[in-house]
Amino acid sequence: MHARALAVEGAFEFTPKVFPDDRGSFVSPHQHHAFVEAVGRPLFQVTQTNVSISRRGVLRGVHYTLTPPGTAKYTCCVRGKAIDIVVDIRVGSPTYGRWDSSVLNGVSYRSLYLPVGVGHAFVALEDETMMTYLLSEPYEPDHELAVDPLDPALGLPIPADIEPIMSQRDLAAPTLAEAAAAGLLPDYATCREIESGLSLPAG
């Protein structure tokens, strides 16, 4: 498992080794020891897993969770192909306003770890793209917020040959500056405090 720190503080990319044979292949997208070595603590206790299936051009995000409670995510693409994007929207963060991305697909099984408070988006590059998510907190609709993924100030890596297909909620989302002015963004220190407590019990 190869780990790479992303440009957003606290976010990591993980690339596992895939073992193919004449039956198919085997892969472990999450590995405890590799995660601990990179992040410095165990993965959070998983409270919910989600799966989304998207056709080419679907753009989901930039989504984030009201903090507190805040939510950390571990994402993986198990079919198709997507650009997975993490955006630092934590006010006071040393990397506030920055983003990083990784191409995830059902061949490499690369994954991203998104710490508490950051924004998450992805754009599907193929039909039937299946993304999986491990979550540190259960989904609560009233806690879910969004920032406009097409905000020019962010300049997210949306391919020029894709006409984004977005939900009404995402189309109506404020820009990063508007969300900041309205006091809607997570506080970095609060996010880090919550993040420090997200460890599985020893053993």
Catalytic residues: 63, 133
3-class secondary-structure state, position 113: strand
Provide the token pair at 197.
């407590």
CA distance linking residue 154 with residue 184, whole number of Å:
17
* Closest-CA residue to 115 (of 76, 138, 144, 89): 89
What one-character-per-residue DSSP string does 24-72 give?
EEEE-S--HHHHHHHHSSPPPPP-EEEEEEE-TTBEEEEEEE-TTT---
